[in-house]
Amino acid sequence: EDWLSMPKVELHAHLNGSVRDSTLLELASVLGEKGVIVFSDVEHVIRKNDRSLTEVFRLFDLIHILTTDHKVITRITKEVIEDFASENVVYLELRTTPKNNASIGMSKRSYLGAVLEGIKAVTAVDVAFRPHSSDVGSQKNSSLINHTCSGSARKKIYVRILLSIDRRETTEAAMETVKLALEMRDLGVVGIDLSGNPIVGEWVTFFPALKFAREQGLYVTLHCGEVPNPKEIRAMLDFQPQRIGHACCFEEEEWKTLKSLSIPVEICLTSNIRTNTIPSLDVHHFADLYNAKHPLVICTDDSGVFSTSLSNEYNLAAAAFGLGKRELFQLARNSIDFVFADDGVKRELKEIVNSAEKKLD
Ligand code: 5GP
């Protein structure tokens, strides 16, 4: 099946987890020559495919060494957007953790600045990223339905940014991220994510910042239940975020609460299998949630780290759960209801999916 051509929305993608292997190897070779790292050690880690959750977080520490630089952040942002657009992702919420790094003059604000530069640097496709710009002229191709003069449609993608709070961070650092998101709202930052190693940190540390984010009208999504932690899962569900990611280690009671609250779940199949969070696809909670008609979105998580793509994730879902083209089109269309964007954007995305589906007949 051709999932590549199907218009898709990607709602759970970490910037530094979505970097092309070729870019990581190139960056590693430059740092190797400078003597900052030993290239052969790094190459081995980058090329390795199966990783436990613990190894994944070790890999992120390595990736962060390779991408520590404003220029590199701009470059990877541009490449990641182009990669998603090239497989017909028409709406992308890209999440990333703003980082302070005094030694290279990086602040959370300047990190985000480098990300926003990356969005503007995209040339392969047209990007719409300013949520509140109603003036079409102020933004190049703010409508995805625009066509070029020649009549051939250029690829277009909506991009929104979520700022991640890393579970290693303090309440103050988390609050700084939320304030930065508020400051950059007009530039495409629409929400907050909580991520990072799930065995690190406590809910009470992040709660004040997440509460503030919600009070200020930012959208919130939480990595929830990646490891068994009933107390935290309960606190997270009580918080009622707009979406959660993963939901792998839920117990009966927690499923009940989740379903009664209808909180959409971002499903990352390859990620869950590669990290051994779920033993195999035939026991994945996707099936139960899908059959219960619970709101679901198929996502990549870290297309670079897990060597996957959104098309591949759709392909896996189709094969593992016996879903046909119609069903996955319906799933893609339903996902649009859970994007962190206004009704105008949702309407346009639905039109795009509908018109692609019509071509199936
Ligand atoms: P960044 O925020 O640096 O752009 O993207 C990488 C970061 O995303 C990681 O350091 C980690 O905090 C977070 N991340 C990526 N994948 C996962 C995942 O599967 N689970 C969790 N909890 N966090 C992740």
The 10s digit of each residue's pLDDT in 217-273 is: 999 999 999 999 999 999 999 999 999 999 999 999 999 999 999 999 999 999 999
Q: What is the DSSP string of 241-305?
A: -SEEEE--S--HHHHHHHHHHT--EEE-HHHHHHTTSSS-GGG-THHHHHHTT--EEE--B-TTT
Q: What is the DSSP string of 150-193?
A: TSPPPPEEEEEEEEEEETTS-HHHHHHHHHHHHHTGGGTEEEEE
Q: Residues 108, 193: one domain?
A: yes
Q: Whose CA is nearest to atom 24 of ligand 1?
A: 196
Q: Residues 100, 206: one domain?
A: yes
Please check whether residue 285 lies inside any domain of the structure.
Answer: yes
Res 139 pLDDT > 70: no
197 C-alpha to ligand 1 centroid (Å): 8
| pLDDT category of residue 1 using cuts at 50, 70 and 90 | low
From 226, 254, 266, 313, active-site residue? 226
Q: What angle is formed at CA 259 by the lines to CA 258 and CA 260, rounded to 5 degrees?
A: 95
- The pair of structure tokens assigned to 353 is 């999916």
Res 135 pLDDT > 70: no
Q: Residues 56, 73: one domain?
A: no
Q: Residues 58, 87: one domain?
A: no
Res 97 pLDDT > 60: yes
167 C-alpha to ligand 1 centroid (Å): 10
Q: Residues 107, 135: one domain?
A: yes
Q: What is the CATH number of the domain that holds 341?
A: 3.20.20.140
Please check whether residue 214 lies inside any domain of the structure.
Answer: yes
Please check whether residue 39 lies inside any domain of the structure.
Answer: yes
Please check whether residue 1 lies inside any domain of the structure.
Answer: no
Q: CA-CA distance, 258 to 243, in Å (whole number)?
A: 10
| pLDDT category of residue 141 using cuts at 50, 70 and 90 | very low
Q: Whose CA is nearest to atom 13 of ligand 1?
A: 196
Q: Residues 208, 197: one domain?
A: yes
Counting from 1 in the atom list of ligand 1, the atom nearest the Cα of 64 is 3
| Mean pLDDT for the stretch of residues 112-127 | 96
The ipTM assigned to this model is: 0.99
Q: Residues 148, 183: one domain?
A: yes
The 10s digit of each residue's pLDDT in 327-346 is: 999 999 999 999 999 999 99
Res 278 pLDDT > 60: yes
**Helix %, strand %, coil % of the chain (to 5):** 50, 15, 35
Q: Residues 185, 298: one domain?
A: yes
Q: Whose CA is nearest to atom 14 of ligand 1?
A: 196
Please check whether residue 2 lies inside any domain of the structure.
Answer: no
Q: Residues 116, 240: one domain?
A: yes
Percent of the chain with pLDDT over 70: 94
Mean confidence (pLDDT) of the chain = 92
State residue 143's pLDDT score.
52
**Among 12-26, 47-61, 275-289, where is mean pLDDT lowest?**
47-61
Asked if residues 126 and 156 have their Cβ atoms less than 8 Å apart, the reply is: yes
Q: CA-CA distance, 348 to 144, in Å (whole number)?
A: 8
Res 283 pLDDT > 90: yes
Please check whether residue 3 lies inside any domain of the structure.
Answer: no
Res 179 pLDDT > 70: yes
- The pair of structure tokens assigned to 77 is 């942002």
Q: Residues 255, 167: one domain?
A: yes
Please check whether residue 296 lies inside any domain of the structure.
Answer: yes
Number of structural domains the chain divides into: 2
Which residue of 11, 16, 115 sits with most ligand 1 atoms within 8 Å of its CB, as the best mutation to test the pocket? 16
**Among 43-57, 198-212, 268-282, 345-359, where is mean pLDDT lowest?**
43-57
| pLDDT category of residue 2 using cuts at 50, 70 and 90 | confident
351 C-alpha to ligand 1 centroid (Å): 32
244 to each of 185, 239, 261, 262, how far by Cα in Å? 21, 11, 12, 11
286 to each of 148, 171, 283, 321, 329, how far by Cα in Å? 40, 33, 8, 8, 16
Please check whether residue 351 lies inside any domain of the structure.
Answer: yes
Taken in order 99, 77, 223, 68, the sign of the CA dihedral is: negative
Any catalytic annotation for residue 176? no
The 10s digit of each residue's pLDDT in 36-91 is: 998 988 888 787 777 778 888 888 999 999 988 999 999 999 999 999 999 999 99
Counting from 1 in the atom list of ligand 1, the atom nearest the Cα of 53 is 19
Q: Residues 80, 99: one domain?
A: yes
Domain, as residue range, for 261 = 8-17+69-358
Q: Residues 111, 35: one domain?
A: no
Res 109 pLDDT > 80: yes
